[in-house]
Structure 1
Amino acid sequence: MALQLSNRGAIVTGAGQGIGAAIAQTLAAAGALVTVNDINPDRAERVADQIRQSGGKAIAVVGDVSNKFQCVNVIETTRSEWGQLDILVNNAGVVPQVSVLKMDEWDWTRCIDVNLKGTFFMTQLCSRVMSDENGERGGVIVNISSMIGVDVAQPQLSAYGAASAGVVGFAKVCARELAPFGIRVNTVLPGMVDTPMTQRRMERETAVSLPQIPLNRIGHAQDVANAVLFLCTESSSYITGTTINVAGGWSGESIA
């Protein structure tokens, strides 16, 4: 069965590179009308242009998801351009890598603000639009969290782990609250995925971590994008409030 999203309005946050870019490109290839959001204007426009060059439809909208007013602008620009909002992918995130003994308050706060509070802002604002305007069509919200903090613990990622676990808990409650409006909420948990954001950590940890991954390879951004596409289509219409691990079998139990 082909996974299609013809003319569905979609926002992907943090879509200027890595996993977010792959998600935006994959949704567009399936027919979605994609808003590429990123805090970096050059990255956002580059991904949107790549989508358009491939025959898809996309716009770039700059915005910091930790700022509610900027979130409103992203959403209103999307509605103005596409005429509807059907899909939200909360992907924006930062990954401070520092020991809890040395972490300063700014590192902690920034991570929670972007990864968790940004997910709250975008979910709340988009679900209001979806519940008011979409009727029986409802909507789809997919959060990109992480295995870190949920099923796997890694040193120097305490803030990231806390935010990731928070996103999972938040999504489960939202799934219950928003189900009467036809809005499905699910979360994808990537494991070790090779992206620009994780490259420095990959160089340091791949030799140690690879033997712990049953499928014996590091993930690609496209692996995550494929799972997100499934969750955005009618093929997953009976799935909400769940998490999908995209980690090659990696888990806390697989760590010796």
Structure 2
Amino acid sequence: MSASDIRRLDGRVALVTGGGRGIGAAIAQVLARAGACVMIANRTGPAGEGVAEGIRAEGLQAQAMECDIGQRAQAEAAVAATVAQWGALDIVVHNAAINPWCELESVDDATLEQTLAVNLKACFWLTQAALPHLRAAGKRGGGRVLVTSSVTGPRVAMPGSAPYAASKAGVNGFIRSAALELASDAITVNGVEPGYIAKQGGSLLSDPERAARIASFIPVGALGEPQDIAHAMHFLASPAARYITGQTIVVDGGSTLPESPFFNHPPTPG
């Protein structure tokens, strides 16, 4: 089998949450181009459908549905809709997330609950609902559970990120525990930890001046692109990663490596 063949996903079915823009859209596109049939579950229906239409315009397989992944019933419905559409489910990618910036002393119960529900609890709900289908996928090369984690929480932190950081640290704990439990079913569980990724409008990185300043502190000298995360997810979804489980891949341009932000211009000793 050639290097390109071992990354093909022909005949595989994938569910991608939060696939209406940015990283999620890139994941859906890359998996579809590798041969997978992709269901995009997105809170905003038109955005998800727009991505699906673009994929279908390339002659590939994709559908979209509106889904609030922060509710168990809707997470279960996303799995059911995917199986109803294609008769199987091999790859679950939980990418949807929210990041409510707020100081620790002002975090209220509603904010905390919503963040944990969307970012962390949905990992449990999706995996539980998908398990019978992922076990069946063992006969077709093994099931895959993939989660978009973050360097924020598992490796670094910043003021105002406590709910998000806690949820992503929890995601990494879920990945390791689930990987142990599901290994005997030929199901691998892995994740990707993005660093600073250029996103579509609405994020702090949408401001060019701020983005350029942040990029100057990243060792590779640039923000990441959604496709950088998507390609890592594709690898983990493919037969090439059959022997990898319970792991996360950091995709951050080296931003978490320096001991100090002055790595480019170290302060003069003394």
Counterpart in 2 of 1:136?
Answer: 139
CA drift of 1:198 comes to: 6.2
Calculate the TM-score normalised by the size of structure 1: 0.94
1:248 to 247, 253, 257: 253
Q: Which runs of 5+ in 2 are unaligned?
A: 262-270
Q: What is the total number of aligned residue pairs between the two structures?
A: 255
Question: Does residue 182 of the first structure (1) align with residue 186 of the second (2)?
Answer: yes
Code of the residue aligned with 1:143 in structure 2: it is V
> In the TM superposition, what are the counterparts of 1:105-124 in structure 2 within 5 Å?
105-124=109-128
Question: Does residue 220 of the first structure (1) align with residue 216 of the second (2)?
Answer: no
Calculate the TM-score normalised by the size of structure 2: 0.90
Whether the 8 Å CA contact 1:146–1:188 is kept in 2: the answer is yes
CA drift of 1:254 comes to: 4.2
Question: Does residue 15 of the first structure (1) align with residue 14 of the second (2)?
Answer: no
In 2, the alpha carbon distance for the partners of 1:77 and 1:68 equals 14
In 1, the alpha carbon distance for the partners of 2:22 and 2:137 equals 30
> In the TM superposition, what are the counterparts of 1:9-158 in structure 2 within 5 Å?
9-131=13-135, 133-137=136-140, 138-158=142-162
Whether the 8 Å CA contact 2:200–2:206 is kept in 1: the answer is no
Q: How far does the alpha carbon of each residue in 1:22-53 deviate from its partner, in whole angstroms, 9 at most, with x for none?
A: 00000001100000110111111111101001
CA drift of 1:101 comes to: 2.3
Tell me, what secondary structure is at the counterpart of 1:101? helix
Code of the residue aligned with 1:174 in structure 2: it is A
Tell me, what secondary structure is at the counterpart of 1:134? helix
Quick one: percent identity of the two aligned structures?
Answer: 37
In 2, the alpha carbon distance for the partners of 1:254 and 1:5 equals 39
CA drift of 1:255 comes to: 3.8
Q: How far does the alpha carbon of each residue in 1:131-157 deviate from its partner, in whole angstroms, 9 at most, with x for none?
A: 2x3343330111101000111111111
Counterpart in 2 of 1:234?
Answer: 239
Which deviates further from its counterpart, 189-198 or 113-122?
Answer: 189-198
In 2, the alpha carbon distance for the partners of 1:154 and 1:201 equals 15
Whether the 8 Å CA contact 1:18–1:197 is kept in 2: the answer is no
> Which runs of structure 1 show a deviation greater than 6 angstroms over 4 or more consecutive aligned residues?
none
Mark the CA change 1:7 to 1:255 in structure 2 (over 3 Å): closer, same or farther: farther
Q: CA RMSD in A?
A: 1.6
Whether the 8 Å CA contact 1:148–1:161 is kept in 2: the answer is yes
Q: Which runs of 5+ in 1 are unaligned?
A: none
CA drift of 1:199 comes to: 2.4
Q: How far does the alpha carbon of each residue in 1:207-256 deviate from its partner, in whole angstroms, 9 at most, with x for none?
A: 55323311111000000000000001111111111110010011164443
